[in-house]
Amino acid sequence: MGKMVLNKLPAPTFRYIGVNFTEREAEPAKQAEIIASGKAEPVRIERNTEESAEYNLTVNAGERLDVYIYSTAGGFCDIKADIMAGGELTLIQVFEKSASNISRVKANIGDSGAFKSVVLVIDAQDTVCEVDTELSGRGARFECDTGFVLDGDSRADINVIATHTGKKTVSEITARGVLSGRAEKIFKGTIDFKKGAKGSKGTESEETLLLNDEVRNRTVPLILCAEEQVEGSHGASIGRLDGKSVFYMRSRGIPEEKIYRLLANAKIEQILRKTDDSQTAERVRGAISGGEEDG
């Protein structure tokens, strides 16, 4: 097992911030599993061992592929995706209460292709996740939604990169979640317009709620531009729950733990509604609530 450099920021910033890259111990998978489009049902993968895995996802022209990966035991997951002209890929990754997750996604989107990525981190102890996508085809579209609910000593380092090389390409990067306890979160979102990506658009936004003073949040929005005829924007809303709201909820008999779960559910529900998958939604809601019914 060797040390891997992961989540490299395309344009490094000050080293003392500690966001330029991260290192983890991992080993590559012994054999890659090939998953191709044309399947009638979604592909669901349960990763309940720490063994490394590699998945090569191929979406043929005009076809669709939906892949759901649920990680509960940690380990390294290496994903490569090739989306051909007019193809559509949905990749949903859920990381739950496991020891140490490493996920690396490298995708390429052809003409008029679409890639929808969803990353959900629910109290996973230590998660490193990267989604690096090149929009090489004309009219390619990339959407990445990240949700996180981190409590205790949970830690997440998430890096999303949208590289626009094709003309009239569109990317949308969003992140939202809640930090409590002594949790730490790094979110890096990069929109990189290369020369020749005329008419392309990219947006990035984040909403993070900090529930106490012990959490640590680092947000790094980045727009790189080598082409004049493009549109890029980013924004972040990082805030704390005001004392009056907490007092009101407690006066209504709502314990602090349940307040946390209610706020977490509200953030994650915005993403779950977009996935349109009841099985994943029920699983994530159960992970947030700890098996308890909210009522």
- What is the average pLDDT across 210-232? 94
- Please tell me the distance from the alpha carbon of residue 1 to that of residue 25, in angstroms, as a whole number: 6
**Res. 97 pLDDT band, cuts 50 70 90:** confident
The pLDDT of residue 292 is: 56
Whether residue 136 is predicted with pLDDT greater than 90 in this model: the reply is yes
Q: In this structure, is the dihedral angle defined by the CA atoms of residues 66, 141, 120 and 265, taken in order, positive or negative?
A: negative
Among candidate residues 77, 75, 78, 43, the one with its CA nearest the CA of residue 59: 43
Q: What is the mean pLDDT of the chain?
A: 91
Q: What is the largest CA-CA distance in the chain?
A: 59
- What is the average pLDDT across 112-121? 97
The pLDDT of residue 174 is: 97
- What is the average pLDDT across 40-49? 93
Q: Which two tokens stand for residue 149?
A: 């609910």
Residue carrying structure tokens 């290496």: 78
Residue ranges per structural domain of the chain: 2-242
DSSP string, 155-181: EEEEEEEEEE-STT-EEEEEEEEEE-T
- Please tell me the distance from the alpha carbon of residue 20 to that of residue 16, in angstroms, as a whole number: 9
Whether residue 222 is predicted with pLDDT greater than 90 in this model: the reply is yes
The pLDDT of residue 1 is: 64
Burial, 152: exposed, middle or buried (Cβ in 10 Å; 0-12, 13-18, 19+)?
exposed
- Bridging pattern class, strands 170-179 and 75-83: unpaired
Instruction: Give the residues across from 79 on adjacent strands.
Output: 55, 105
User: Greater confidence, 141 or 50?
Assistant: 141
- Bridging pattern class, strands 53-59 and 126-135: unpaired
The pLDDT of residue 288 is: 87
The 8-class DSSP code of residue 228 comes to S
Decide if 211 contacts 180 (C-beta within 8 A): yes
Give this prediction's pTM. 0.93
The pLDDT of residue 177 is: 93
Decide if 288 contacts 149 (C-beta within 8 A): yes
Among candidate residues 148, 149, 144, the one with its CA nearest the CA of residue 191: 144
The pLDDT of residue 160 is: 98
Q: pLDDT (tens digit, 9 = 90+) per residue, 21-30?
A: 999 988 888 8
The pLDDT of residue 251 is: 82
- Please tell me the distance from the alpha carbon of residue 143 to that of residue 49, in angstroms, as a whole number: 29
Instruction: Give the residues across from 231 on adjacent strands.
Output: 201
Interacting residues of 19 by C-beta distance below 8 A, sequence separation 6+: 9, 13, 186, 188, 218, 220
Whether residue 126 is predicted with pLDDT greater than 90 in this model: the reply is yes
The pLDDT of residue 164 is: 98
For residue 63, CA distances in Å to 3, 109, 114 come to 37, 13, 11
Whether residue 202 is predicted with pLDDT greater than 60 in this model: the reply is yes
The pLDDT of residue 295 is: 46
The pLDDT of residue 157 is: 97
- Please tell me the distance from the alpha carbon of residue 264 to that of residue 161, in angstroms, as a whole number: 25
Q: pLDDT (tens digit, 9 = 90+) per residue, 152-185?
A: 999 999 999 999 999 999 999 999 999 999 999 9
Q: How far is CA 174 from the centre of its chain?
A: 9
Whether residue 294 is predicted with pLDDT greater than 60 in this model: the reply is no
Q: pLDDT (tens digit, 9 = 90+) per residue, 60-73?
A: 999 999 999 999 98
Element (H, E) at 184: strand 184-193
- What whole-number percentage of the chain has pLDDT above 70? 96
Q: pLDDT (tens digit, 9 = 90+) per residue, 99-111?
A: 789 999 999 999 9
- Please tell me the distance from the alpha carbon of residue 269 to that of residue 17, in angstroms, as a whole number: 31
Q: pLDDT (tens digit, 9 = 90+) per residue, 224-271?
A: 999 999 999 998 888 876 667 677 777 888 877 777 778 778 889 989
Residue type, 146: T
